[in-house]
Chain A
């Protein structure tokens, strides 16, 4: 009973406060960083350095009229934002964001993340379908094609990690990296593929084809307003958080630092959590940084990159890694 209550509290804190909090800070960071990169200043009036801007945004979203257009499929229309937000929140559950602090320390680990995050495409394509609007539909169709294409490369790019570590559990992967060094040094090409695919999976530039303001008005969320739109928005940022967290946990040593052993007990846990968030923040910054640097791919370029380059490359890395691991085992 205490176990269940403790877990519930943990879930409520992470899914109800930490992740939306990160999302809110990201909204602020996105606007300020983009402004800085364009020699502007961005929102700096609401609160110190504009930090309360997300609060103002939220208030605006809440007080806006919740329009449901007459031509939409009402049930699916209401369901779609929820369907895109929930997988984003659930996928975070296996990530060990501090020492021993994963919500679900399951031994299928990363497989669960991929299984859940694939569901997220339904939120977007159903949103596009239910809106009953040509632009939304195009956005939804593009989203499903893109996500299916890059899901393969994403999944395959992580396989070498498991080949080397020999375990699917995220904590085990972090522990292995503590002993043997960060996996990014062993698997740099695999990490690059992982990064590119995760950008495509989260529908971020340069792969934001489902949104593509210049072509599709706003893509799948053209018809959405007020809090429903905010949910789509939040889902995107939480997806980014999960992708960054995975990048940290799988390739950059998770919550541990190299050469430094963290103390045991509560302070060790807090410190490890801070280290994890610091590393994660860098990757979140990278998301923004890339978004405001690279232009959008053309649709055929996107497909070509996914199927003709990333997929064969990740397969080749798997084969090479498997060969290396086999060699290591024989020489032992």
Chain B
């Protein structure tokens, strides 16, 4: 086989004297220094700095982000959950517990509602199965990802907390109207 002579790059004279390259390096770092200095005055349009100031600034999650599960109401302020307990059965870590109750009257075309609805966030694994299983589109994984409490009891989200997190979501089908 023919011998191939690899050409090693040699340092030029300027590089060997070293001072010019030192100055070049210093200019580079000071450029970044002043870049961040400038960004401090115009933080919204920052160009050089990459740090996010966490408690004040938060991530902008995508819509399919799987955060904490929450219950939603439709645009009429009606509870969408009909206490079918599908989510409770599909939940792999058994984080969801539902106590169903019956409506006394059938006026609103819905038979059941959850009397109590609890999700234990210490058990939840954010898998999203509940959202997939729900036939009423009543439970969603919202963009809430920072759950910090000093008491373990606070990690059990009750119905009020779940609706507070979920809020109102447009219902395209409105099953109860067609019965």
B22 touches A36 (CB 8 A): no
B49 touches A39 (CB 8 A): yes
User: Could you say which of A38, A41, A289 contacts B30, with CB atoms under 8 Å apart?
Assistant: A289
User: Could you say which of A39, A289, A290 contacts B48, with CB atoms under 8 Å apart?
Assistant: A39
- Which residues of chain A are near B28, meaning CB under 8 Å? 293
User: Could you say which of A40, A41, A292 contacts B29, with CB atoms under 8 Å apart?
Assistant: A292
- Which residues of chain B are near A37, meaning CB under 8 Å? 29-30, 32-33
B150 within 8 A of A: no
**Residues 15 to 45 of chain B near chain A (Cβ within 8 Å):** 22, 25-26, 28-30, 32-33, 35-37
- Which residues of chain B are near A293, meaning CB under 8 Å? 22, 25-26, 28-29
A40 touches B49 (CB 8 A): yes
CB of A100, distance to nearest CB on chain B (Å): 36
A187 within 8 A of B: no
Looking across the interface, which residue of chain A has its beta carbon closest to that of B40? Answer: A41
B22 touches A39 (CB 8 A): no
A41 touches B26 (CB 8 A): no
Given contacts A41-B36, A294-B22, contact A289 B29 (CB under 8 A): yes
User: Could you say which of B22, B32, B37, B53 contacts A38, with CB atoms under 8 Å apart?
Assistant: B32
**Residues 1 to 58 of chain A near chain B (Cβ within 8 Å):** 33, 35-41
A289–B23 Cα distance when bound, in Å, is 11
CB of B24, distance to nearest CB on chain A (Å): 10
Total cross-chain contacts (CB, 8 A) = 39
User: Could you say which of B25, B30, B36, B53 contacts A39, with CB atoms under 8 Å apart?
Assistant: B36
- Which residues of chain A are near B49, meaning CB under 8 Å? 39-41
Looking across the interface, which residue of chain A has its beta carbon closest to that of B35? Answer: A39
User: Could you say which of A39, A41, A290, A294 contacts B32, with CB atoms under 8 Å apart?
Assistant: A39
Looking across the interface, which residue of chain B has its beta carbon closest to that of A295? Answer: B25
B50 within 8 A of A: yes
CB of A109, distance to nearest CB on chain B (Å): 30
- Which residues of chain B are near A294, meaning CB under 8 Å? 22, 25
- Which residues of chain A are near B53, meaning CB under 8 Å? 41
A292–B33 Cα distance when bound, in Å, is 11
Given contacts A39-B49, A40-B49, A40-B51, contact A33 B25 (CB under 8 A): no
Given contacts A39-B49, A39-B50, A40-B49, contact A33 B33 (CB under 8 A): yes
CB of A120, distance to nearest CB on chain B (Å): 26
- Which residues of chain A are near B35, meaning CB under 8 Å? 39
Given contacts A36-B32, A36-B37, A37-B32, contact A290 B26 (CB under 8 A): yes
- Which residues of chain A are near B51, meaning CB under 8 Å? 39-41
B36 touches A36 (CB 8 A): yes
A41–B28 Cα distance when bound, in Å, is 17
CB of B165, distance to nearest CB on chain A (Å): 29
**Residues 42 to 95 of chain A near chain B (Cβ within 8 Å):** none
Which among B30, B32, B36 has the highest number of chain A CB atoms within 10 Å?
A: B36
26 A-B contacts, Cβ less than 8 Å apart? A33-B33, A35-B36, A36-B33, A36-B37, A37-B29, A37-B30, A37-B32, A39-B32, A39-B35, A39-B36, A39-B48, A39-B49, A39-B51, A40-B49, A40-B50, A40-B51, A41-B36, A41-B53, A289-B26, A289-B29, A289-B30, A289-B33, A290-B26, A293-B22, A293-B26, A293-B29
Which residues of A approach B to under 8 Å, CB–CB?
A: 33, 35-41, 289-290, 292-294
**6 tightest A-B CB contacts, nearest first:** A36-B36, A37-B29, A293-B29, A293-B25, A36-B33, A41-B51
